[in-house]
Structure 1
């Protein structure tokens, strides 16, 4: 009992520290914020703590963008992975049960056939009606029993097949959700890293072009501060929708983190990558953001983009860094523009 009380006190103390940290660092007051800070202060997810500590060391403000990024990268994906593991275990258990049923059916079938063989060998003379009747009755009872066993097995097999189908669908849903950003419906950072690595292997082995675009919503913090996080979410969904509308063949569009988006363009050179980024930027300029709750017109959304293409000797990290440097150049030179890696050497 003493240990339980002590544990409750520790948890209450940790909860108080979480609330205090949220206030100190001006984090938004919603459930996922509490979960992120709780994970950090309890030390249960070291990678999350390390990333959050970098933000704290850089200034101390932990806003919605940081919280959402940490939550999606660590907490949401962890839960989905656990759910996928549980579903996989259920499928394995169902298959094991199915195997047992089949083995039992095989054993019963072998027993039935041995009984029939024995009856055939011991068949009475046709003149002995009493023995013939008993022989037939035994044969009929054995056959009925076998038919009943098969009917039971068929029913169990159908039930197991349906259950496995449901579990397989659930597993596929968990797999897709684990690769998807909940807010925008785009691929998430985890899926981006997997796909970029796969595209890199093809570019390296086959010499096929590969281009990466990193785009950032201009003045996103202003939208959040002036109009609230719900409007900020609306901005991100609008950008995601516009990118998807203009998606080219085999492109992988991802929410890279916060208000940043990354687009992998396989079999695409630098110039075509810039044209794609420009088409998205121009499309956004034609759309006016309207606040849903009040129908207030909030103006146009603009993005800045950096474009980099694969070079011999590149790594996924070096390509990301070069695209990010081009993005920073776009920001420094006035925003609402697209800059390629070529501009970095001028």
Structure 2
């Protein structure tokens, strides 16, 4: 699935190309000075007729003070050239990692309200119990089309509901229908702030976070970031006593104005992250920081009914192209009441689909 895209400048850094070495610059300046002095010594010579490689007495034309001055000027020139790029503080490996930013990166856009309607309809058909979340995204997509935005954008979402109702699955399907890359942050599985935005150089495991990594590896400036169980994130304290939380890392990225000039802790350069969209999940509102709630649309979602799960299993089974006998057997499990309502969740149904798919693809025994 593809969508129209717009190319945007993601960072103010400038790619100047391969910088010449100090030795090359010194040779150029020395040759220029020799030529200039040779022309002054002999009025019969002209720059056109003079072969710079056959200058008379060329060794005597430049003395030790001249060489020292040329060396200083060559170093200063390289310093100014590096500062102009905004990458003077980076080593060659870091500059290679940033190479995808040359010329800008695309963001997906919604051209018409009808296109927004089609996305919402397709998502709702797959997971109708997520209607409130789908509707919120739908309004954002229609607004993006009406305002003629270069990319698509909707308010950051926090989906609150019991485990197993498909909050993360819905977010991944949303990324599929939007035709944008997605990355997932497990707020409880690792230091969330470091996983999201990375760590500064100087830390033992310094690296760019998943956000920047996704932008660079997918070469797309508008991915969807999914943060699971955001209410359970903890905090990390450095040896110097500084405190790092996922909420602190998220807040500047959730505000579009600050996201436009967000600075990566690892590369220490600015990125335009204003076209990144956010879907966070939580099992309850308890533990959700107030600053986070104030910047997001928080939606309380209902639990699933057996009929909704059966419908999901049928739709997902057809999407996976399960053979009719396998799909029919799966439907029989629901219809005969072999599984109690308390045992049902989207995770359970997904495992049942995985098992049915494995059995359907198993080669026949001779």
The structure with higher relative contact order (CA 8 Å, sep 6+) is: 2
Larger Rg: 1
Q: TM-score, normalised by structure 2?
A: 0.28
Structure in which a larger fraction of residues adopt helix: 1
